[in-house]
């Protein structure tokens, strides 16, 4: 059965992502923010999915909320972190009460925006949800990363009792990566097809600038050094100007 992205996948997502370094990413985000004068305050995990990058913030005593488009992913997040406020919404139209001092996003959630105009719209919404001086920190896959995501174009294996076989292709004509994610569990099998669009440092800088951000840096993990054009995944750090 072929399904909408991030629906059936929600129930097996955490098993497949068990080895992802969410805690290290959270530490990197906080280090990057503190180095740029962040003084704490409310944080928003954008594209929080099942809450895997929300939890390390909770564990560090940070007041964090999450936003995601997928009710199925949010259902898992809410069951894991009942004390956290999770909001259902689209990056491009989100309207979450109050403002944040930090908005962050991990694991290429923003690559799901398939047009630069969509990314700019989302960046404007983030800008409007930040306090003056607030920071937006996120990772994205670049063209180098999405052209050659996995060796042999395939990720396959067992995660607990889930068998997964994910096949990746990159369409040079549209510059879109396509992942056909097949999963099989005791209760059945399904396939979700996901698309990602790459974002490279010069374009990211232009989009964030057009959305009103300043102090824009595109860096690599974990060094925090300026990203080079051959980086497969980069992190952007940008600031809403002080009032
Ligand atoms: C690869 S998952 C990452 C989830 C989580 N950040 C993590 O690291 O595990 C991407 C997430 O982005 C969400 N997403 C994709 N497009 C979105 C959009 N336009 N608005 C809001 N959420 C979106 C999906 O529902 C999914 O939960």
Return the percentage of the chain with pLDDT > 70, whole number.
99
For residues 227 and 142, give the distance between their C-alpha atoms in angstroms, rounded to a whole number. 11
CA 70 to centroid of ligand 1, rounded, Å: 7
Mean pLDDT for the stretch of residues 21-47:
98
1, pLDDT greater than 90: no
Residues with C-beta less than 6 Å from any ligand 1 atom = 6, 17, 47-49, 52-53, 68-70, 73, 90-91, 106-109, 112
The vertex-231 CA angle with 17 and 210, nearest 5°, equals: 95
pLDDT digits (tens, 9 = 90+) for 198-228: 999 999 999 999 999 999 999 999 999 999 9
Confidence at 4, pLDDT banded by 50, 70, 90:
confident
| Two tokens, residue 188 | 């059945």
Specify the 3-state DSSP secondary structure of 233: strand
Ligand 1 atom with the smallest distance to the CA of 91 is 20
pLDDT digits (tens, 9 = 90+) for 117-167: 999 999 999 999 999 999 999 999 999 999 988 888 899 999 999 999 999
pLDDT, averaged across the chain: 96
DSSP structure class, residue 115: S
Burial of 52 (0-12, 13-18, 19+ CB in 10 A): buried
């Amino acid at each position: 059965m072929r399904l909408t992205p991030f629906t059936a996948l929600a129930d097996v997502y955490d098993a497949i992502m068990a080895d992802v370094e969410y805690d290290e990413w959270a530490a990197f985000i906080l280090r990057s923010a503190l180095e740029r004068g962040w003084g704490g305050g409310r944080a928003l995990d954008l594209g929080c999915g099942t809450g895997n990058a929300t939890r390390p913030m909770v564990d560090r005593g940070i007041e964090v909320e999450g936003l995601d488009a997928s009710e199925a992913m949010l259902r898992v997040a809410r069951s894991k972190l009942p004390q956290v406020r999770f909001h259902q919404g689209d990056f491009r139209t989100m309207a979450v009460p109050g403002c944040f001092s930090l908005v962050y996003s991990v694991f290429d959630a923003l690559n799901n925006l398939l047009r630069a105009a969509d990314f700019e719209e989302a960046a404007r919404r983030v800008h409007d949800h930040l306090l003056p001086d607030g920071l937006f920190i996120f990772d994205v896959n670049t063209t180098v990363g999405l052209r050659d995501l996995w060796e042999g174009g395939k990720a396959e294996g067992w995660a607990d009792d889930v068998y997964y076989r994910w096949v990746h292709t990159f369409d040079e004509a549209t510059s879109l990566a396509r992942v056909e994610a097949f999963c099989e569990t005791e209760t059945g099998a399904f396939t979700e097809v996901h698309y990602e669009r790459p974002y490279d440092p010069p374009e990211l800088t232009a989009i964030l600038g057009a959305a009103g951000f300043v102090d824009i840096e595109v860096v690599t993990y974990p060094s925090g050094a300026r990203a080079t054009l051959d980086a497969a995944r980069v992190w952007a750090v940008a600031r809403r100007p002080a009032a």
